[in-house]
Structure 1
Amino acid sequence: MNDTLLTIGLPIALAVIMFGLGLSLTVADFLRIGRYPKPVVLSLGAQLLLLPAICFGLVLLFDLPPLLAVGMMLLAASPGGTTASLFAHLFRGDVALNITLTAINSVIAVVTLPLVVNLSLAFFEPDGPDTLGLQLGKTLQVFAIVLVPVAIGMFVRRRSPAFADRADKPVRIASAVLLAAVIVGALLADDEVGEYLAQVGVITTLFCAVSLTLGYLVPRVAGVDARQSLSSCFEVGLHNSTLAITIALSVLDNERLAVPAAVYGVLMFPLALVAGFLLRRRIGAEEPVSLAR
């Protein structure tokens, strides 16, 4: 990959994404799970339990090399991001539900992401430095990467709600554009992009498609309304690939681990658009019940 673009652009993109998330959050978003537990619990269950298990099965099925296998598990353990809220807004989902899920899952990921990565490293045993793994010091780096920009955004919102409201949509759109530009630019500038696609293009496409499908079907089958199920589809189906790449490169210092998330970060956009159009047509004129903000 293009080291310069990723070293400079990726941390900036992630900071903007997580800051934008913070701009949209209040304490009430974290408390909403107690008032509307069903869609939140079902979506989080699919994201935290089902997807890592499914990803593990796909990795074994495709017999990926150890480092790429761990990279896939790192991607599966990454929470949803502001891109999910953007797609939910575009296809008239319940954006408040997306905000709640992203907020809660981003906090939970500080614990679950190092756990999944370390278990994956122990199972697949990739060749590499003995220090490869998320020990306490590196886990604290994950904490800082995930939560510090969010906390700053929440502070700005608390001090100036009007500014946060005005900045929320532009920052959210800028986050998605910047994310796509950095990942696409890095891949196109790399002579090995064809090799990356050949190695993980099929498995990342399949994983994204399965994630989107489960994100919609799990809450829908359990009786959650169509609009909230649509939001769950994007929240569960669109992982924060920027976070996964940043952890692979900046925390674990291994470029190979970042390959699945980089390829996924490009492919998830067209797949999410297809899912949104198909589900929007299926939902039709069904009248939803919205989460109160």
Structure 2
Amino acid sequence: MFTLGIGLTTADFTQIIREPKAFGVGILNQMIILPIVAFIIVSFFGLKEEMAVGMMILACCPGGVTSNMITKLAKGDTALSISYTAVMSITTVITLPFITGFSIAHFMGADAPPMNILSLGITMCLITALPVGLGLLLNIKYKRFSESFEPKASKISTVLFMVIVVGALASEWDAFIANVGTLGPSIIILILTMLFIGYNSAQWFKMSSKRAVTIA
């Protein structure tokens, strides 16, 4: 998240004003449509309580640097993607605790562990909004340094991300193999559904293919 902040400028946030339609459709899809679709899929497949909550949390997390990289590779509007990531990284501090609390209560019922939404919100702030804000501040105050450091930081964060994913997969390999047959189809359907909704919602508002790819 700190690396993401280093790559941001205040201009990334003004994209909201410059392109309100493109920004609004993308944020609506991420903040509202995605959790609803995830909830429907989870309920339809009848996933185990822990998996259902995990899917809902996954659906509410911001895209991060990875989504910006994929947008660039897909020849989408990278600046618009960065704006989505910047705003979602901050708003998630508010939305994720409430959706997580709802998901735990709904899917786990009486077995739900006690959860303090305020505490979770503070934790989210410390691991998302604060690092992004510090990175943005560094970029504003020491632009020359941040411009030279950002490519290196991005590479380091990408490697660390891959190490974390591989490590988590290795440590939970038995659980992964046992549940991939159930969880895999749900995740694939969620991805394909949101790609379809994202692209076609942009087309419905007569946006360019480049922006439709970004929103998808």
- TM-score by length of structure 1 reads 0.68
Deviations 1:21-60 (CA, angstroms, capped at 9, x unpaired):
1011122322220121011000011111111111111011
Alignment of 1:118-133 (within 5 A): 118-126=101-109, 128=111, 130-131=113-114, 133=115
Q: Within 2, Cα distance between the matches of 1:213 and 1:181?
A: 31
Show the counterpart of 1:49: 32
Which sits farther off after the overlay, 28-37 or 161-170?
A: 161-170
- Give the conservation status (yes or no) of the 8 Å contact 2:104–2:112: no
| Alpha-carbon distance, 1:194 to partner | 0.6
Partner Cα distance (1:110, 1:187) in 2: 26
Cα distance in structure 2, aligned partners of 1:208 and 1:177: 24
Residue correspondence of structure 1 range 1-293 to structure 2 within 5 A: 18-126=1-109, 128=111, 130-131=113-114, 133-192=115-174, 193-233=176-216
C-alpha change, 1:167 and 1:214, in structure 2 (3 Å) is farther
1:129: how far off?
Answer: 6.0
State the Cα distance separating 1:199 from its structure 2 match: 3.4
Q: Judge conservation of contact 1:93–1:231 (CA < 8 Å) in 2.
A: yes
Q: Distance in 2 between matches of 1:86 and 1:28?
A: 19
Structure 2 regions of 5+ residues with no counterpart? none
Q: Distance in 1 between matches of 2:107 and 2:16?
A: 36
RMSD: 1.8
Residue 72 to residue 102, structure 1, CA distance change in 2 (3 Å): same
C-alpha distance in 1 between matches for 2:64 and 2:213: 15
In structure 1, distance between residues paired with 2:3 and 2:203: 29
* Aligned equivalents of 1:94, 1:222: Cα separation in 2: 16
Unaligned runs of 5+ in 1: 1-17, 234-293
Runs of 4+ in 1 over 4 A off after TM superposition: 126-129
- Which letter maps to 2:197? L
Using the aligned pairs only, state the percent identity: 30
Rate the CA distance shift 1:63–1:91 in 2: closer, same or farther, 3 A: same
Q: What is the TM-score of this pair, normalised by structure 2? A: 0.91
Structure 1 contact 29–99 (Cα < 8 Å) conserved: yes
Q: Flag the 1:173–1:226 CA change in 2: closer, same or farther, 3 A.
A: farther
1:282 alignment partner in structure 2: none
